[in-house]
Structure 1
Amino acid sequence: MTTQTVLTLDVDDARLYYELRGTGPLVVLVGAPMDADSFAPLADLLATDYTVLTTDPRGINRSPLDNPDQDSTPAQRAADLAALITHVGAGPAIALGSSGGAVSVLALAELYPDSVSRVIAHEPPLLNLLDDRVEQNALSEDLRATYLSGDVVGAWEKFFAQANIFLPPGMAAEMFGGERDTQSMVDERFWFGHELGPSVSWEPRLDTLRDGPVRIVVGIGEESGGQLCERTSTALAAGLGVEPTRFPGGHTGFADDPATFEPVLRAVLAEG
Structure 2
Amino acid sequence: MPEPVTHTLDVPGAVLTYDVRGELSNQPVLLMIGSPMAASGFPTLASHFEDRTVVTYDPRGVERSQRTDGTGELTPDDHAADLAALIEALDAGPVDLFASSGGAVNALALVAQRPELVKTLVAHEPPLAALLPDAEAALKACADIYETYQRDGQGAGMAKFIAIVSFEGEIPADYTDQPAPDPAMFGLPTEDDGSRDDALLGQNLRGCTSYRPDLDALAKSTDKVVVGVGEESANQLAGRGGKAIAELLGLTPEVFPSNHGGFLGDEYGMPGKPAEFAVKLRDVLAR
> TM over 0.5, yes or no?
yes
Corresponding residue of 2:57: 55
Deviation at 1:214, TM superposition (A): 5.4
2:84–2:114 CA contact under 8 A, matched in 1 = yes
Say how many residue pairs are matched: 263
Match in the other structure for 1:27: 30
3-state DSSP of counterpart to 2:227: strand
TM-score by length of 2: 0.85
Task: Please state if 1:237 is matched with 2:246.
Answer: yes
Q: Which sections of structure 1, spanning at least 5 residues, go unmatched?
A: none
1:39 aligns with one of 42, 63, 69: 42
Describe the superposition over 1:177-234 as per-residue Cα deviations: whole angstroms up to 9, x where unpaired. Answer: 279xx9xx876x1321121111111101122112237511000011114211221111
What RMSD over aligned residues (CA atoms) do the two structures have, in Å? 2.1
* Sequence identity percentage: 40
- On the 8 A contact 2:159/2:188 being kept in 1, the answer is no
Separation (CA, whole Å) in 2 of partners of 1:174 and 1:230 = 22
Which amino acid in structure 2 is aligned with residue 134 of structure 1?
E
User: In the alignment, is residue 86 of structure 1 matched against residue 88 of structure 2?
Assistant: yes
CA distance in 2, matches of 1:186, 1:22: 37
**Alignment partners' CA distance in 2, 1:71 and 1:18:** 22
Tell me whether 1:120 sits opposite 2:122 in the alignment: yes
Is the partner of 1:194 in helix, strand or coil?
A: helix
Gaps of 5+ in 2: 169-180, 265-270
1:1-272 correspondence runs (5 A): 1-23=1-23, 24-46=27-49, 48-165=50-167, 173-177=185-189, 189-212=198-221, 215-255=224-264, 256=271, 257-271=273-287
Report the TM-score when normalising by structure 1: 0.90
CA distance in 1, matches of 2:136, 2:190: 34
Of 27-36 and 65-74, more deviation after overlay is shown by 65-74
**CA shift for structure 1 position 171:** 7.2
Distance 1:143 1:231 in 2: 19
| SS of the residue 2:7 aligns to | strand
